[in-house]
Amino acid sequence: MEPMDDVEVIQADVTELPAAFDESTLLLDVREDDEWQCGHAADAMHIPMGDVPSRLGEVDPEATVYVMCHAGGRSQRVAQYLARNGYRAINVSGGMLAWSAAGRPVVTDDGGPGSV
């Protein structure tokens, strides 16, 4: 996925994210499978960055989509792609590193404690 400098994307600090995600807000984790398996936000949807174009139909076009990766670079590109395709996409600055540093929970698929 190439950078799209002509598409402006809103940036959000982890502290600005909702406490919980519902049908109107989506936390999209675009990290690779091995990163996801180590730990992720409990409410996140996982679609690796390279799979986003082919799985775009899984993302609700009516929702505000908060996009997160490890540190914020990949999620910026995905947020630009989503914005170009009509989604309200917001890049989570600092990604999972910031999420974890802010004390937000990181879990594994079985609900146990995860790591970033």
Query: Which among 27, 69, 89, 98 is annotated as catalytic?
Result: 69
CB 29 within 8 A of CB 59: no
Q: Is 76 exposed, middle or buried (0-12, 13-18, 19+ CB in 10 A)?
A: buried
CB 15 within 8 A of CB 8: no
User: b/e string for 10-36 if b means 16 or more Cβ within 10 A?
Assistant: eebebeebeeebeeebbbbbbbeeebb
> Is 69 marked active-site?
yes
DSSP β-bridge partners for residue 18: none
Q: Which residues are catalytic?
A: 69
